[in-house]
Amino acid sequence: MRGRQHVLIGTTATVATGIGIVSSGSSIVNVMPIVIGGVIGSYIPDIDSHKSKAAQMFNKILSISIVVLAILYSLGITLDLEKLSSFFNSDNPKTIAVLMFAVLTILGKLSPHRMFTHKWFGTMLFCYSVYLMGNIYFTIGFVTGYILHIVADTMTKNGKYLKFFQFKLPCRNSKNKFDISW
Ligand SMILES: [Zn+2]
């Protein structure tokens, strides 16, 4: 399934979720982080796709931007606190979360297609790092988009080989051998 289709499913679902949340009394301002989370969450699992030239290029640009943004964000926080030691301070879970997300993106990018990012372990780590960033609406959108991506993949022609519940570390292929591709 193409990235565009995944993003379409994720966006539709999160817009619907957003409408549900607003109609249950929450502010309309909260719809935005849900939808942005949904778009990112529905695309991220396929950061490992190396199929088309366009996908390769887009994934490279996306992963590099996430890493650069994460570094800038972390440096911003470090400069604010004027202490380099705060960089890895566990009192600062948001910085850790953003760095964790960036590291996961790199690992996902290096992993073979439909392995690490498409298994329960990678899914949990990605969703947990987003949860640690601290915005509940963004988290709801991201988790919804991510899970819908996996569900949509299992419905494709090769979906029966997806094996979501298999344990898979980053950079491992279907035979559990070390395998990297960039
Ligand atoms: Zn996929």
At which residue do the structure tokens 């979501």 appear?
A: 164
pLDDT at 4: 85
Round to whole Å and give the CA distance between 96 and 40.
19
At which residue do the structure tokens 């289709």 appear?
A: 5
- Selection from 177, 65, 169 nearest residue 125 by Cα: 169
Neighbouring residues of the ion ligand 1, judged by CB less than 5 Å = 45-46, 153
Ligand 1 center to 80 CA (angstroms): 38
Ligand 1 center to 118 CA (angstroms): 7
Residue 29: pLDDT band by 50, 70, 90 thresholds? Answer: confident
pTM: 0.86
Q: Read off the pLDDT of residues 95-117 as tens digits, 9 standing for 90 and up.
A: 889 889 999 999 999 999 999 99
CB atoms within 10 A of CB 106: 17
Coil vs helix vs strand at 178: strand
